[in-house]
């Protein structure tokens, strides 16, 4: 039996190493391409999800569950507080740069985590979370509303009650099989047609009774803005406020390098920025144009990173005729 010579062995090893190198090159190239593709997919999906979330809030801004043509009666004892005073305003924007921020509670401006970056705009709007709850009978206006369902609100919670005649926000004073709405948590213990909080008890004919056609929901204020996250990365934030306190929220999208909001007013042909909208015009906003740019970091040192721009226009449904 004859073996291989040293020269033959070295040639075979060299060819094997060359083959391994070629295979390794193609494997690494395929891995890098796969990572880049996944990175682009993640950025695209994250951007689409963020746009869907902000679009859902904008479309539902000012929605009263029933008939938006009726004014909203705010019966809360603290209805004059700045937080609740904005309830009848579906949305309001804050301009970038020198534009002010939102008060009560204050949306602070700065570079700390959770603060609004001074050079970016912000958006505040009101939405209503529908409850799986229904009235079971029609009782006197001053009596608790008998209800049935799986989502009875807690005592002390603000509640929106509406039908196709009236919409009211009240403080829940009793819960369970019926929803109480007594004073002094509310300015009155009944629902008056016309004046929201009359000084004298109106005649029974001027008192409204909510019946089986009533709908129930929890009013929420939502704020959108760009601020640094815990890592110092500019991120798109969504905050949900309940009864004047931040109840939930945080960054929903990181690496946001650009964020702009423009508004279309009734009878106007062009979209404008927040600083071009007068204080008494925010109730006339029919649509909001949202533009957002993401600059994801490079996956490998040789990559340039991923940059994508998302832009979409959302109509405010409560303003549609």
The whole-angstrom separation of Cα 286 and Cα 263 is 8
* pLDDT score for 137: 95
* pLDDT score for 60: 93
Is residue 61 a contact partner of residue 55, using CB atoms and an 8 Å limit?
no
Segments of the chain assigned E as strands = 72-74, 91-94, 122-130, 133-135, 145-149, 158-162, 167-171, 178-179, 215-228, 234-242, 245-254, 256-265, 285-296, 306-315
Q: Tokens in use for 279?
A: 């204080």
The whole-angstrom separation of Cα 311 and Cα 276 is 20
Q: Which residue numbers in the chain have pLDDT < 70?
A: 1-3, 26-40, 98-100, 297-304, 320-321
Cα–Cα separations (whole angstroms), residue 157 to 154, 169, 240: 6, 10, 15
The whole-angstrom separation of Cα 219 and Cα 180 is 17
Q: What sign results for the dihedral spanned by CA atoms 265, 269, 270, 276? A: negative
Give the DSSP H/E element, type plus range, for residue 51.
helix 6-59
The whole-angstrom separation of Cα 269 and Cα 174 is 49
3-state secondary structure of 97: coil
* pLDDT score for 21: 78
The whole-angstrom separation of Cα 256 and Cα 271 is 22
* pLDDT score for 69: 81
Q: Tokens in use for 271?
A: 């979209």
Q: Tokens in use for 123?
A: 């958006």
3-state secondary structure of 36: helix
234-280 pLDDT tens trace:
999 999 999 999 999 899 999 999 999 999 999 999 999 999 999 99
The whole-angstrom separation of Cα 30 and Cα 32 is 5
Rg of the chain taking only CA atoms, in angstroms: 29
* pLDDT score for 299: 47
Neighbours of 151 (CB within 10 A): 13
80-113 pLDDT tens trace:
999 999 988 899 999 987 656 898 999 999 999 9
């Amino acid at each position: 039996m004859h073996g291989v010579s040293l020269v033959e062995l070295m040639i075979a090893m060299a060819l094997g190493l060359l083959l391994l190198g070629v295979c390794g090159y193609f494997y690494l190239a395929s891995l890098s391409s796969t990572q880049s593709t996944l990175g682009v997919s993640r950025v695209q999906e994250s951007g689409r999800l963020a746009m869907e979330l902000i679009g859902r809030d904008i479309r539902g801004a000012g929605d009263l569950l029933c008939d938006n043509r009726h004014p909203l009666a705010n019966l809360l004892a603290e209805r004059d507080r700045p937080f609740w005073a904005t309830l009848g305003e579906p949305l309001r924007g804050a301009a970038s740069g020198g534009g002010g921020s939102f008060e009560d509670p204050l949306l602070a401006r700065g570079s700390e985590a959770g603060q609004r970056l001074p050079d970016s705009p912000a958006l505040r709007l009101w939405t209503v979370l529908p409850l799986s709850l229904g009235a079971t009978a029609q009782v006197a206006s001053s009596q608790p509303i008998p209800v049935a369902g799986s989502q009875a609100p807690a005592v002390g919670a603000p509640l929106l009650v509406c039908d196709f005649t009236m919409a009211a926000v009240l403080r829940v004073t009793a819960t369970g099989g019926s929803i109480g709405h007594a004073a002094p948590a509310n300015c009155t213990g009944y629902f008056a047609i016309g004046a929201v909080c009359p000084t004298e008890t109106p005649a029974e004919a001027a008192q409204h009774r909510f019946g089986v056609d009533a709908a129930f929901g929890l009013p929420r204020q939502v704020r959108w803005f760009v601020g640094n996250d815990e890592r110092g990365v500019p991120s798109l934030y969504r905050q949900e406020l309940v009864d004047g306190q931040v109840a939930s929220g945080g960054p929903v999208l990181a690496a946001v390098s650009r964020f702009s909001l423009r508004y279309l007013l009734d009878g106007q042909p062009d979209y404008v920025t927040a600083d071009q909208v007068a204080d008494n015009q925010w109730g006339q906003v029919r649509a909001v144009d949202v533009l957002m740019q993401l600059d994801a970091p490079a996956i490998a040192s040789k990559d340039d990173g991923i940059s994508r721009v998302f832009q979409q226009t959302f109509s405010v449904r409560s303003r549609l005729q």
